[in-house]
Structure 1
């Protein structure tokens, strides 16, 4: 049965010297925008300072009633209005500067992260899930964004209010301050913990509701099965049981919310009453001067209590942000492939002679499994070399090694007599094209997907490549022709159409070495004929490595290599291999052609 996906909160990191050092690296990406953060901090201090002056002035204003001093009352009221205006101005600049700094910093981090990510070797991607990497670019960056924009500023503001508030409280009355500190912060923290527990319980209710929705969705999607098995009453009973569970959890949650409301009324407001009562006793005994001081004290107490309550949640958010920062820097610290930082205008043109010498290879994630064992073969300029054999024999691995997606364990791979590790990656891969079995197009136009093989191609070159790939007829059949959007992963095109776009892309690149990885195995007969014709044009005048399951497509190959368990066990032309008695190629051939 399908279960609802429950999103977990981002994990928190322990705050220590190492994690803080990592977090501080974020600011290096602010570059010439860091001054905005520092000025934002200055406005933060000014905002906190004006906030701390507010209770003091309110107390003095109340005392004006006792002294019947209207001039002083007017003066203090104007000062309070001025403070409010200053706070508004300071808050505007604080937020504007922090947001400006954050957005520019995150833009640099996103670009650096994506640039490093896309340059990482295939060994990295073979061990990571796409969803996890997407999370780094979305959830983790969003967490950092919230923290840099508001959380750090709010945490510092609350911290200043606590320290400043306690200092002002102590100045007014040490006795009352000690009494307040023994009650209000504890009650505020308890309220936060209680509130967090209630939120978790509410989430449990929502998760149970989601589970009930899954039952409804499953039942309606499979309604034909429900009817066929006459299981209506079974499904009603299943849904009813889940509804009863929801009611039970929701009622329990309602009780907890009731307890919380009672707690707030009794403890939080009770603690304020206790502070006021003790303050009144101090005024009566002469330890406190007047009511104005008591009003100021109560307001400072509220500031301190609220800040104590809020700072715990803010600290948790900062922990999450530091955790997110560490995960982002894990990717930034990954060693990329040696790719030039600036796009090369011209790649070195190769002839395309390929030679494997005693190559052995195991995938880094499965070292115990020998994928290729002592593989040796050569492909001369313009030759068509086919690789056949059962699944898992190592055919696709050879193409991956040729593209230098992985490093070999031993042996040598030579191109034009030179070790492939002596070539720059751009030169090596710039001279190769691959047409895979499952073509994935990018979600732009047909023109953009063909031009991916040569981004600076002219209109004439793109048109010619499409024509040679047998793609022009179906492209012109669309109302928008070359501007037709292919949809996500090319979903709007058929398999044969996607293959011909991939062939046009390869033609435009004009590679010295062509890799065809079962390029026609999943096509219908008509599409296969059109694609095969386009492939024949594509293979002319270049070295071709053809990985095939359908042996009919490689009869004209100059050389056929038969692989089994990572070793070449047979080698020759189609006719030569058919003469090997009990040979694997002959057996595969008789199986395929007898069934066709």
Structure 2
């Protein structure tokens, strides 16, 4: 089940503030042209905004002077300025929004590419739903920041600096009074901003936890319903969602308080400045136009400060989201490819060797799943792995696929250690039929072709026939082009297993791995598939994990596993004559099975 809370307090406290957004810079590097265009548009719009108060001053003073022609000229100039402002704003919106969409798309692809290649050990302590939440929810936050918040932050920063400079030019005395207000504004930003950042990180953690919880429950919807667990699942999801809402409510409250304090302080200061300025106009210290100009600049600066305080909260939320994505991008995998990988000799013979292999699953370090395993599978040999559940049989296949690396010992393919080769390269020579077949939300044809994407329709058809899947696929509404639903919900267990077998047949690899490959088939289908396997395994090295001994009687060799060790080895007749665990299992399955009939 899902974990009981979001990430640890220590992880949340490790936030690097808004500086975390620097991790996004490499994603902007390929699009410097757009960054420059956005910067130009930003400067144009900010500059035009700072020219408008000057035009307003000229208009007001023009009224006082009574120069009608001059007044008309100022109005025409103001219309021209407005046109430039509109053009710059439109260009800025287009370029920045497009840049944001492009960068976020690249981030999503980079995170997915990293996560899809991580070994299963990485996912032992991390819900896939939480990873999906980071790819979707966190990148959406970043998109909002890149496409809007950063642009507004830079624009308001320019307006603040430019407005302050123009205020000094207009009236130094009044400007100093305004500056006295700034420390009063900065203090709540610093005090409440730190709390806001922590709350934002917690809120994102809870959102990810909520997504992970929902994903886990929905993927197991049939089991949830079969055990009448809907109410408990709803309650659990409700608890996580309410915790997310409670954190969000606190965060919103802090932001609202911060905004209220800043707006009150800023506008109270402006009113005080207006009062003094009005007295200066009465005393002929400054003109009415200069006072209007100063007030507009003060309003621009006040508005920019208020906007900056609000945007700062958004930037802090995005910083938390960026940290979470950077964690995924920088995640260390316990399994990695060598810097200079070796290549398998061609053609691949399919010789497999386990040399004194010891392995502990990362989540169970105190328990050895395999303990001193050594055996060699000769090219073309068919070896069966039998024994009770948890004896280490399927672990052999997982290590051979290099989903994990052993703590001791070496695994070789054609004499070359797996750790010395690129995983994608040597896996091309392996075909797996897992105990729980994975069916994708696609057509039957696409699911079979997953084994070899470049296969022709005729080859897909031949593989399906060999796996005894052709008849039921042809009976589907659109035949091979029928959509089989998410995780193959429109197919029976046996049908899904036969599609998985067809996928392995189509791969045509020199090494075949069968993990309870016929466990979901009825007796008639199993016999037909066993006939297909007789052809498929010919000339291929085959490892067969099976509980039903009837499926392994014809194997060249049988390895008997118990508690992570090989305790016996031989063919079916030899092992039965030796007595021991295999003989006991054979007696239970064959003798008592026949008696029960």
Same fold by TM-score, threshold 0.5 exceeded?
yes
- What corresponds to 1:589 in structure 2? 586
- What corresponds to 2:310 in structure 1? 313
1:64 is matched with which residue: 53, 62, 85? 62
1:276-304 alpha-carbon deviations (Å, 9 max, x no partner): 222111222333x2222222222222211
1:222-254 alpha-carbon deviations (Å, 9 max, x no partner): 9xx9xxxxxxxxxxxxxxxxxxxx9xxx9xxxx
- What corresponds to 1:362 in structure 2? 360
Indicate if the aligned counterparts of 1:446 and 1:483 stay in contact, CA closer than 8 A.
Answer: yes
Q: Output aligned runs, 1:62-211, within 5 Å.
A: 62-183=60-181, 186=184
Distance 1:423 1:66 in 2: 85
Indicate if the aligned counterparts of 1:58 and 1:296 stay in contact, CA closer than 8 A.
Answer: yes
Distance 1:263 1:352 in 2: 73
- What corresponds to 2:301 in structure 1? 304
- What corresponds to 2:337 in structure 1? 338
1:27: how far off? 2.4
Q: 3-state SS of the aligned residue for 1:453?
A: coil
**Quick check: 381-390 or 501-510, which moved more?**
381-390
Indicate if the aligned counterparts of 2:59 and 2:74 stay in contact, CA closer than 8 A.
Answer: yes
- What corresponds to 1:430 in structure 2? 428
C-alpha RMSD of matched pairs (Å): 4.4
- What corresponds to 2:480 in structure 1? 482
Distance 1:49 1:331 in 2: 41
1:294 is matched with which residue: 291, 295, 305? 291
Distance 1:322 1:392 in 2: 44
**Quick check: 53-62 or 316-325, which moved more?**
316-325
C-alpha change, 1:546 and 1:7, in structure 2 (3 Å) is: closer
Q: Output aligned runs, 1:180-579, within 5 Å.
A: 180-183=178-181, 186=184, 271-287=269-285, 289-334=286-331, 337-338=336-337, 348-525=346-523, 527-579=525-577
Compute the TM-score of the two structures, normalised by the length of structure 1: 0.79
Distance 1:261 1:34 in 2: 34
C-alpha change, 1:294 and 1:475, in structure 2 (3 Å) is: same
Indicate if the aligned counterparts of 2:21 and 2:318 stay in contact, CA closer than 8 A.
Answer: no
Q: 3-state SS of the aligned residue for 2:391?
A: coil
Indicate if the aligned counterparts of 1:347 and 1:430 stay in contact, CA closer than 8 A.
Answer: no
Distance 1:317 1:506 in 2: 49
Distance 1:256 1:392 in 2: 52
C-alpha change, 1:298 and 1:404, in structure 2 (3 Å) is: same
Distance 1:158 1:185 in 2: 18
Distance 2:6 2:123 in 1: 26
C-alpha change, 1:314 and 1:381, in structure 2 (3 Å) is: same
C-alpha change, 1:421 and 1:20, in structure 2 (3 Å) is: closer
Compute the TM-score of the two structures, normalised by the length of structure 2: 0.79
1:441: how far off? 1.6
C-alpha change, 1:470 and 1:339, in structure 2 (3 Å) is: farther
1:15: how far off? 4.2
Distance 2:260 2:141 in 1: 34
Q: Work out the number of aligned pairs and report it.
A: 546
C-alpha change, 1:263 and 1:511, in structure 2 (3 Å) is: closer
Q: 3-state SS of the aligned residue for 2:355?
A: strand
Indicate if the aligned counterparts of 1:192 and 1:309 stay in contact, CA closer than 8 A.
Answer: no
**Quick check: 310-319 or 70-79, which moved more?**
310-319
1:497: how far off? 1.0
Q: 3-state SS of the aligned residue for 1:92?
A: helix
Indicate if the aligned counterparts of 1:349 and 1:427 stay in contact, CA closer than 8 A.
Answer: no
1:477: how far off? 0.4
Distance 1:369 1:5 in 2: 27
